[in-house]
Amino acid sequence: MKIGFIGTGLMGQGMAKCLIKEGHTLKVYNRTPEKTSTLVEAGAVAASSIADVAEGQEVVISMLGGDEALKEVVLGEHGLIASLASNSIHMMCGTHGVDVIREVVAAHGFAGQIAVAAPVLGRPDVAAAGKLAVITGGPREAIERCGSVFEAISRRTFNGGEDQIAATSMKIANNFLLGCAIEAMGEGFSLVRKYGVAPADFLEMLTDGIFSSPAYNIYGEIIAQEDYDRVGLTTILGLKDANLALSAAEAVQVPLPSGNVWRDRLIGAIAHGDGEKDWAVVAREQARSSGLE
Amino acid sequence: MKIGFIGTGLMGQGMAKCLIKEGHTLKVYNRTPEKTSTLVEAGAVAASSIADVAEGQEVVISMLGGDEALKEVVLGEHGLIASLASNSIHMMCGTHGVDVIREVVAAHGFAGQIAVAAPVLGRPDVAAAGKLAVITGGPREAIERCGSVFEAISRRTFNGGEDQIAATSMKIANNFLLGCAIEAMGEGFSLVRKYGVAPADFLEMLTDGIFSSPAYNIYGEIIAQEDYDRVGLTTILGLKDANLALSAAEAVQVPLPSGNVWRDRLIGAIAHGDGEKDWAVVAREQARSSGLE
Amino acid sequence: MKIGFIGTGLMGQGMAKCLIKEGHTLKVYNRTPEKTSTLVEAGAVAASSIADVAEGQEVVISMLGGDEALKEVVLGEHGLIASLASNSIHMMCGTHGVDVIREVVAAHGFAGQIAVAAPVLGRPDVAAAGKLAVITGGPREAIERCGSVFEAISRRTFNGGEDQIAATSMKIANNFLLGCAIEAMGEGFSLVRKYGVAPADFLEMLTDGIFSSPAYNIYGEIIAQEDYDRVGLTTILGLKDANLALSAAEAVQVPLPSGNVWRDRLIGAIAHGDGEKDWAVVAREQARSSGLE
Amino acid sequence: MKIGFIGTGLMGQGMAKCLIKEGHTLKVYNRTPEKTSTLVEAGAVAASSIADVAEGQEVVISMLGGDEALKEVVLGEHGLIASLASNSIHMMCGTHGVDVIREVVAAHGFAGQIAVAAPVLGRPDVAAAGKLAVITGGPREAIERCGSVFEAISRRTFNGGEDQIAATSMKIANNFLLGCAIEAMGEGFSLVRKYGVAPADFLEMLTDGIFSSPAYNIYGEIIAQEDYDRVGLTTILGLKDANLALSAAEAVQVPLPSGNVWRDRLIGAIAHGDGEKDWAVVAREQARSSGLE
């Protein structure tokens, strides 16, 4: 397939490489051009602009780190609305808010283009291995046209239905559940530490019991080892995720009390200088509030 | 081994049968004598009193549903303090509060008896299969003497150290984490439902993603199917667990904000008449507060 | 003084009339021109545009209901930046977020104009009586120049210092405290109602005890009488205030756990159809969650 | 009236002196006998035991600091149940939980005695001045018989109805509202401090605005001045009050989310060594969690 790819950060690079490996023809664009060099070495063509990366493509994939970036790419001067061919697809793989997705989907619709929400689950190493999971949301026909893309980058797709906003809410809820699980683990570790339990013993229970799963195993280990410099997602970006969840929930009148607790610990961690640590550092913030540090 | 067994409810029956099957000599006692009949058929001897069940045993196991019951069994007139032989072991398998465990451990110590905390993880079907996990807390030598008991009832033990209270806190923290996970799932399901996502689709993401584990699979399914009559643990007993966690945490000055959220939903569920439903019904209470029911 | 006045809603009308009564020369502007008619009858001149209302004034007062409206008035084409004379004052009396105030203050600074934050405390009837309180924030010299304005509209000023953003935070914190007090009252009323206490009896304790103050007297009465159609501020606008507080707090890394509780009840109330009721209806939402309705 | 008085701590002494001053005949008892000496000097007779203080009295007043103390005084060997004359009144002025009040009321009923709940509002200096407020709960006829007692110790009574438990819940709710107000103030002060507002300026707004009342004036001042050594109620006793509220609410299925927030800050304050400071120190705990200390 002829694919344009916008956003070659850590996640994007892994995904783009998988697409090249599977034989797709890739043109890549990044605001910071140097970040496309390894992809060019791997066989991609570097684009000089959004218009350039979009021209003549069947699909343009964006993997962007924020809502402002997405709006700029789509709605900005010389953005996708202006440059993507009619009936072509913009597949949005980043984690975005429901409001911006609604706005972008509407704009693509007016322009005769097709928006597909395809937020991905997994971290950079998973992306590099082509083993992400993808939540797909959009017109069934468009999702089908993207089949070979999903095969290249993921181990499987989850059905987010025909509504891009619904699929977006699933990804937001996924991150929300993860954040709440980390927060609860932090509370649990503080509790047992105060009773003299070795964190490694509590971790073993988590990882060989009813919680045994990547979410608990990975973050339980980070918390047990207090290894917050092993950064998967920073606390500041975690706070962005928490706010996405709380905003999405407010928009449909859903209170998220566990989300509030999680957000407060993220804010507290940032207040104590841990904004650039892994977001599991909420466990340290919890420990602080328990008089443990 | 010569074993006395007190408390033959659903969990206790499964555990006791496993002990009989493995060749242990079992005397059993329950406040309601009828509840020992199937065990007697399986080869156990029925005891007429606490004193009777304790007499001459190397180990007496209790599997009781509340702190008051444990205090009565141990500290009551003609209780274990009065009837258990010196240097014999009282293995406590129920989920109890840290305060009552501290009190009971001290009393056994004064009486020259040995208390072992051995709270179990797993539900009745797991108990019947001899596949529980056991958190062991107590003197190393006593834990070793109980080795064949643990082999009979469990797939493995988790190390809770030499302190019975510490082991108790691990079990309490385990239930706390589970309750918080259920609460967060409830919030997540409400969120995506409001965006039109089919609960089954969200469930699939939970069960084949980073959360894939018994905790999320079992409770995610109950919530997705709103199958709250499939009762593993009632909401009223769930509230007991929440209070155990919050009390244990207060005693060592640990705030548990996620625990508060969970407890409030349990209370709200009871207020709406769902006290005897499965404790996953906090998800329905969350839905109510979101205007979904 | 020669004064331009933008925003003649309920609050603005009361304030503008007081200014006229005290002899100030008033030009008034509202997006919906009809809303200036009673002021014109009282002696004000109607302006046809922002530029018109700003031209030649010493002070332009804005009393606007939202951050977007303020941005439009100040930064929009033909807005105050383009039309207000150098060294003239824009006095902002609405309740705005810290971000928009920061942006507007900076823009006025670049334009050689002076921004004063002067958020007011009080409801429409208090405004009509000229008895508001004003929190003043901005350059001391500018605040002094506005002295006769403050005298006309308020019973007193509170010192918010020379920083417009600080003064803004005081107003936000005032509304936050009020919202939290209402939420706590709601919880308290639910509690005692369940014990059979007559709401009027509990209200009497509030209004003749240590809480006796307008905040508790007014909102206690609304709650006791469940008189949520007596709307001072709608729940939807209350949610705006809650979000202003939580955003302002996040920006400086302050968790506001009581604010979360309050916000969740506002969201729940809206979910149950009470968005246009008085924001004290969080007490009804609390009652719902307690199984009382 | 012939009155027995049990519990001559700070509060009790002030109340007892007022009774003497108004001409009542007082016999006084305290576990620590020295604490009755100033009252004896003032004209009271010292009792040597509960039985002694109760013998022949029309009314026995208890002003005790905890539920255990009340149970001991009433239900203990040689306690009031055994020694108070039939049809005499036990007026309970302390702050107690609903459970213990229910138990004590039932016991007095079986014994043919009359229990009156009369929890008082106010601090030691207010008690000394005879200006407390009293919430009265119990049989109307008994409340009337106590009229001269209420006149001596209080500026007024609040009607808690004929149900001692309902009256108790009013007092608990009063302390709950006060605690939540203090907690919210703490959050508000942290917020404005981060924006550079002088605490004294924020305090002035509280004390001359819609919150102007003893609750906000007294505790606002303590917080603004960070004067937590001026102890009215310790944080540890504040936590007792928080737990009374949460237990009373759980018993009737009322979630108290603001109460959870307040309780968590009390726990955090104790974790940081502030257990013996004034309970307004939750504001410092809030500041800590905001990175301010």
Separation of alpha carbons D117 and B150, rounded Å:
53
Separation of alpha carbons B217 and B226, rounded Å:
14
* Lookup result for tokens 């945490």: B249
Q: Given CB atoms, is A271 within the 8 Å cutoff of chain C?
A: yes
- Residues of chain D neighbouring A264 (CB-CB closer than 8 A): 289
- Residues of chain D neighbouring C253 (CB-CB closer than 8 A): 194, 290-291
CB A127 within 8 A of CB A15: yes
How many Å lie between the alpha carbon of B290 and the closest alpha carbon of chain C?
6
Contact yes or no for A191 and B289 at CB 8 A: no
Q: How many other CB atoms are there within 10 angstroms of residue D123's CB atom?
A: 17
- Residues of chain B neighbouring D257 (CB-CB closer than 8 A): 260-261, 264
Q: Residues with Cβ < 8 Å from D259, sequence gap 6 or more?
A: C187, D176, D179, D180, D242, D245, D246, D249
Question: How many CB contacts within 8 angstroms connect chain B with chain C?
Answer: 23
Q: Which of A250, A265, A288 to mutate to test the interface with C (most CBs of C within 10 A)?
A: A250
Q: Given CB atoms, is B290 within the 8 Å cutoff of chain C?
A: yes
Dihedral of alpha carbons A224, A229, A232, A236, sign: positive
How many Å lie between the alpha carbon of A190 and the closest alpha carbon of chain B?
7
Q: pLDDT-derived band of residue C275, with 50, 70 and 90 as boundaries?
A: very high
Q: pLDDT-derived band of residue C98, with 50, 70 and 90 as boundaries?
A: very high
Contact yes or no for C169 and D190 at CB 8 A: no
Q: Residues with Cβ < 8 Å from A2, sequence gap 6 or more?
A: A24, A25, A27, A56, A57, A58, A59
Mean pLDDT over each residue of chain C, to the nearest integer: 97
Q: Given CB atoms, is C273 within the 8 Å cutoff of chain B?
A: yes
Q: Residues with Cβ < 8 Å from B101, sequence gap 6 or more?
A: B92, B115, B117, B164, B165, B168
Separation of alpha carbons A190 and A213, rounded Å:
21
DSSP state of A114: E
Contact yes or no for D170 and C209 at CB 8 A: no
How many Å lie between the alpha carbon of A66 and the closest alpha carbon of chain B?
21
- Whether pLDDT at C293 is above 90: no
- Summarize the confidence of residues C201-213 as an average pLDDT: 95
Q: CA torsion angle for B97, B99, B103, B108 (degrees, to 10)?
A: 40
Chain D residue whose CA is closest to C202: D170
Separation of alpha carbons C121 and C98, rounded Å:
17
Contact yes or no for D202 and C170 at CB 8 A: yes
Catalytic residue (one of D35, D71, D131, D171)? D171
Separation of alpha carbons B35 and D267, rounded Å:
43
Helix B257-271 with B235-251: angle, nearest 10 deg: 150
Q: Residues with Cβ < 8 Å from A40, sequence gap 6 or more?
A: A28, A46
DSSP SS3 for A116: strand
Rg (CA), chain C: 20
pLDDT of residue C232: 87
* H or E, element range at B199: helix B199-207
Separation of alpha carbons B231 and C89, rounded Å:
67
Measuring CA to CA, how many Å separate D283 from each of C174, C255, D263?
Answer: 16, 12, 12
Q: Which of B289, B290, B292, B293 to mutate to test the interface with C (most CBs of C within 10 A)?
A: B289
Query: Cα B258–D266–A267 angle (5° rounding)?
Result: 50
Q: Residues with Cβ < 8 Å from C145, sequence gap 6 or more?
A: C58, C59, C89
Provide the strand spans (E) within D49-207.
59-62, 89-92, 114-117, 120-121, 132-136, 154-159
pLDDT of residue D123: 86
Bridge partners, A90 (sequence order):
A60, A115
CB C249 within 8 A of CB C263: no
Q: Residues with Cβ < 8 Å from C119, sequence gap 6 or more?
A: C92, C93, C94, C95, C96, C134, C135, C167, C168, C170, C171
Contact yes or no for A172 and B185 at CB 8 A: no
The first and second tokens of residue C282, run together, are 């969080």
Please list the ranges in chain D whose pLDDT falls under 70: none
DSSP state of A79: S
pLDDT of residue B293: 83
Q: pLDDT-derived band of residue B159, with 50, 70 and 90 as boundaries?
A: very high
pLDDT digits (tens, 9 = 90+) for A116-163: 999 999 989 999 999 999 999 999 999 999 999 999 999 999 999 999
| Nearest neighbour of D271 by CB, restricted to A264, A268, A290 | A290
Contact yes or no for A253 and C267 at CB 8 A: yes
Q: Given CB atoms, is C160 within the 8 Å cutoff of chain D?
A: yes
- Nearest residue to D181 (alpha-carbon basis) of C68, C179, C292: C179
pLDDT digits (tens, 9 = 90+) for A234-286: 999 999 999 999 999 999 999 999 999 999 999 999 999 999 999 999 999 99
Contact yes or no for B215 and A215 at CB 8 A: no
Q: pLDDT-derived band of residue C43, with 50, 70 and 90 as boundaries?
A: very high
pLDDT of residue B57: 97
Measuring CA to CA, how many Å separate A247 from each of A65, A170, B283, C207?
Answer: 17, 14, 20, 37
- Whether pLDDT at A293 is above 90: no
**Percent of chain B whose predicted confidence (pLDDT) is above 90:** 98
Catalytic residue (one of C21, C27, C35, C171)? C171
- Nearest residue to D208 (alpha-carbon basis) of C33, C133, B144, C45: C133
Question: How many CB contacts within 8 angstroms connect chain C with chain D?
Answer: 222
pLDDT of residue A52: 97
DSSP state of D195: T
- Whether pLDDT at A232 is above 90: no
Q: Given CB atoms, is C249 within the 8 Å cutoff of chain A?
A: yes
Separation of alpha carbons B116 and B133, rounded Å:
15
Separation of alpha carbons C144 and C280, rounded Å:
37
Q: Given CB atoms, is D290 within the 8 Å cutoff of chain A?
A: yes
Contact yes or no for B271 and C289 at CB 8 A: yes
The first and second tokens of residue B59, run together, are 């180990």
pLDDT digits (tens, 9 = 90+) for C108-152: 999 999 999 999 999 899 999 999 999 999 999 999 999 999 999
- Residues of chain B neighbouring A219 (CB-CB closer than 8 A): none
- Whether pLDDT at B8 is above 90: yes
- Whether pLDDT at B123 is above 90: no
DSSP state of A85: P
Q: Given CB atoms, is D275 within the 8 Å cutoff of chain A?
A: no
- Summarize the confidence of residues B158-185 as an average pLDDT: 97
pLDDT digits (tens, 9 = 90+) for B42-96: 999 999 999 999 999 999 999 998 999 999 999 999 999 999 999 999 999 999 9
Strand order, beta sheet including C120-121: C120-121, C132-136, C154-159
- Nearest residue to B130 (alpha-carbon basis) of B11, B25, B14: B14
Q: CA torsion angle for C62, C68, C72, C74 (degrees, to 10)?
A: 50
DSSP string, C12-42: HHHHHHHHHHTT-EEEEE-SSGGGGHHHHHT
Q: Given CB atoms, is A82 within the 8 Å cutoff of chain B?
A: no
- Whether pLDDT at B238 is above 90: yes
Bridge partners, A133 (sequence order):
A121, A156
| Interface ipTM | 0.96
The first and second tokens of residue C188, run together, are 């308290």
pLDDT of residue C172: 98
Q: Which of D261, D289, D292, D293 to mutate to test the interface with A (most CBs of A within 10 A)?
A: D289
- Whether pLDDT at B192 is above 90: yes
- D178 φ, ψ (degrees, to nearest 5): -65, -45
How many Å lie between the alpha carbon of B261 and the closest alpha carbon of chain D?
8
pLDDT of residue C90: 98
Bridge partners, C133 (sequence order):
C121, C156
